[in-house]
Amino acid sequence: MGKLFFTPGPAQLYPTVEKHLVEALHSDLGSISHRGKQFQKLFTQTTENLRQLLSLPHDFGIYFTSSATEIWEKSLASCVEEKSFHFVNGSFSKKYYEFAKELGLSPFKVEAEMGFGFDIDKIEIPEEAEVICCTQNETSSGVQMPAHDIHALKDKYSSKLIFVDAVSSMPHPHFNWTKVDSVFFSVQKAFGMPAGLGVWIANEKTLAKANELKSKGLLKMPYHNLLTLAENGKKHETPATPNVLYIYLLGKIAEDMLKKGVENIRKETKTKAELLYNFCEKSNLLEPFVKNKMHRSETVVVANTHKPAADIIEALKKENIVLGSGYGNLKEKQVRIANFPSISVAQVEMLIEKLCKL
């Protein structure tokens, strides 16, 4: 401990993680049964806190997996008979698309270059696509799909399911829950927890689609599919022995975020994003990678560097500050700065001050 992490996941821990983990161990949560009242109560508490935090209606269930990667696979395998449609503009959205191919489906995609988003009015989605898969926050490039663009897809293609990877932005995006069907995230990004838990939010329509696949004999996934998660979820349980400790921890962090107020958290995120982008625009050291302001991620700021990125990262490391490196082959020329709720406005200001001196 002691370092400050601006990495986009695993990320800086939420300030209350330590306190809650100690409390969890004192309450024997590492040893309790996952088929008993104590766990069911804990599961209910966590899902209710998340429901309140996200203003989630009751036709949506909340299910736990081991990662978001697992949800890429399970969402496609549980709900797509043949064809999904994918918005691809970086490494994460591309993997979601590739999972569909690996599963033997015939996915469609529209692809934008790294650093670019989509002009969704100009994109026609084929009639045969059953599900539209969006990556709300493309963590590799720092490009976002604004929530209103995702909602517009539902307006135009109301019979298709809309699945949203919001892994590196939740709880920041403000979704209209009548316009999305499934949204998922993992906890090591903006919730500031250690990695090891995926969260899948899915509505009745998503479940109905999975039931349709099942009735056709197409749902063959013994290790978790949407229906096994939902059946167990009804009993406030999970199909396998889950990460009880983290389900508890997530409930507590959601509670802390509720106390702070989700609108305050969103406002602070916007303030910090503005500070970072304004700095990058004026700086001789950094420059925003994403040119279109509408498509700039508010939770993961990606910047081109005018010095070798490794030098900047090294210099900050000496100050106990950890920046994210550029993704994949952009490693040498970019840095990624996570702007998650665990980082305060003062800490962003402090980072900017240090960057000014480099």
Q: Which two tokens stand for residue 234?
A: 């009804």
Residue 68 as a binder of ligand PLP (CB under 6 A): the answer is yes
Report phi then psi at 13, rounded to 5.
-75, 150
Q: Are 11 and 192 in contact (CB under 8 A)?
A: yes
Residue 354: closest CA among 295, 270, 276: 276
- Stretch of residues binding ligand PLP (CB under 6 A), selected from 20-28, 148-156, 165-173, 279-287: 165-173
Exposed/middle/buried for residue 151 (C-beta within 10 Å: 0-12, 13-18, 19+): middle
CA dist., res. 67 & res. 65, Å (int): 6
5, 6, 7, 9: which one binds ligand PLP (CB under 6 A):
9
Q: 143 or 207, CB closer to ligand PLP? A: 143
Collect contacts of 281-288 with beta carbons under 8 A, ≥24 apart.
Answer: 283/355, 283/356, 285/312, 285/355, 285/358, 286/335, 286/355
Q: How would DSSP label each residue in 137-164? A: EETTTTEE--HHHHHHHHHH-TTSEEEE
Q: Among residue numbers 73 through 102, which ones bind ligand PLP (CB under 6 A)? A: 92
Minimum separation from the CB atom of position 195 to ligand PLP (A) = 6
Minimum separation from the CB atom of position 335 to ligand PLP (A) = 16
Q: Which two tokens stand for residue 218?
A: 């197409």
Q: 163 or 279, CB closer to ligand PLP? A: 163
Print the binding letters for residues 195-234 with ligand PLP: x by CB under 6 A, - otherwise. ---x------------------------------------
Minimum separation from the CB atom of position 212 to ligand PLP (A) = 26
Print the binding letters for residues 118-147 with ligand PLP: x by CB under 6 A, - otherwise. -----------------x-x-x--------
Binding stretches for ligand PLP (CB under 6 A): 9, 67-69, 92, 135, 137, 139, 165, 167-168, 186, 198
